[in-house]
Amino acid sequence: MSSDTPHMTPDEFRREGHRLVDWIADYWGSLETRPVTGGTRPGDVLAALPESPPESPGGADEWDAIVRDLDAIVAPNLTHWQSPGFFAYFPCNGSGPGVLGELVSAGLGVNGMLWSTSPAATELETRMLDWAADLHGLPACFKSAGEGGGVIQGTASEAAVCALVAAIKRSGRDPRACAVVCSDQAHSSIAKAAMIAGVAEGPEDGVHVRLVRTDAAGSMDAGHLREQMGDRGGVRPVMVVATLGTTGTGAFDDLDAVAAASGDAWLHVDAAWAGSAFVCPEFRGPMAGIERADSVCLNPHKWGLVTFDCDLFWVRDRRALIDALSITPEYLRNDATDAGAVIDYRDWQIPLGRRLRALKLWFVYRHYGAEGLRSHIRAGVELASAFESWVRADDRFEIVTPRSLSLVCFALRAGDDATERLVGELNRRGSIMVSHTRVGGRYVVRFAVGATLTRRRHVERAWGEIRAAADAVLG
């Protein structure tokens, strides 16, 4: 290696690292006064960036320029997901401990694909998934001491693919002879998983991706589920997906009823958003029957204060997952693996390589403790409950579906056009951000509380913005 390669020295890294940590802290401190969304137009950021990379190395002056560009090009053209005024979609929590975990993981720079390539990475992750199982009230069958266990995936979408591949393998059927069944409110990642796994030709393939009707509360109709479980021209369901906290309205499927109707199909439970609330015992009611599931996932990067990306994925029988995903070329063979004495997480996921994501989970759990996590969840639910009461008290609005934890779905009584214009007006103003869904064909506003920095004053301000925007829309 050439001696003039401009690698950072430890002291240079320390200097610029301190500056960028300060920059992040200042950014967080500024979020209350920044608009959640800016007026960025397509191509604005591209136009501000050089078309070609630099030829010569940059020195200390270049780091001055990098920080200026963060301020001038990047930050103004972001949607600020960590803003206390962000109420769209679901929260994508970041926290100081989570960010520091990411920093240390990047600094260590290990690849934990095998136990032998970083023993601490593997065993820390195993312990964190067992901790998380206990924190969220999962039964012992999902812990590593028995036949189950957990692994960190990137997202619930990846977890769905892994669950489906395991289901196909366990069934012994050709992928094109398999089907996936879920409710018509399930996340789009389920259909995408079927496409990736070679089960479905596309999202509209109703033979291989079968949608079950939902009732007025958004829960899967168990009777219709039974009808969808039949053989159609040699195609049979191998996986049923139950959702605890649907993306649209936060609805919960009845796990016992779903399990009873699913026969021998793999039962996967998607609790991506609502699962974080299960750290609070009072919110665990929808978990009844979860011991009958084959796999479960939840995303602490949504509402659990763990910086994106972090999906926790558990299986009741780890052998079924490993059998579907394991492959050992000669260059990966080692004594520990051959002896069967260790976990190799590359056999629990799609990619080979993997980051040390367990560090940020460890940092968050140690900083907040179980009580801190519960306090965060309860605060979000309490704020959403207050917001719901304000909406109910204004006769221009109506609550369209019952509040689900920290998610409130509402609309203007004036109709879909007015409600859609309300969402557009709020997001154009930029002080807060909301998103929408459709319920029974109606256009509905979704207001999801849960950002790390959101406090009561921010929800009160949001309600003021919503009323003002309604004045503008309704005249």
pLDDT > 80? residue 328 = no
pLDDT > 50? residue 1 = no
pLDDT digit string, tens, across residues 5-33: 899 999 999 999 999 999 999 999 999 99
Residue type, 91: P
For residue 150, list its beta bridge partners.
314
Instruction: Say which residues have a Cβ less than 8 Å from residue 29's Cβ, sequence separation at least 6.
Output: none
Residue 331 DSSP one-character state? G
What is the model's pLDDT at position 38?
A: 80
- State how far the alpha carbon of 400 is from the alpha carbons of 214, 351, 404, 413, 446, in Å: 16, 42, 12, 10, 10
Rounded Cα–Cα distance for residues 453 and 25 (Å) = 13
Which tokens hold the place of 313?
Answer: 């994925």
Q: How confident is the model at residue 436 (pLDDT cuts 50, 70, 90)?
A: very high
pLDDT > 60? residue 256 = yes
This model's pTM is above 0.85: yes
Q: In which residue are the tokens 């079924």 written?
A: 320
Task: Please compute the mean of the pLDDT values over residues 27-40 and round it to a whole number.
Answer: 93
Q: How confident is the model at residue 93 (pLDDT cuts 50, 70, 90)?
A: confident
Instruction: Say which residues have a Cβ less than 8 Å from residue 256's Cβ, sequence separation at least 6.
Output: 288, 289, 292
* SS3 (DSSP) at 258: helix
At residue 34's C-alpha, the angle toward residues 31 and 38, to 5°, is: 125
Q: In 195-287, at which residue ranges do the beta strands (DSSP E only) sit?
A: 209-212, 236-243, 266-270
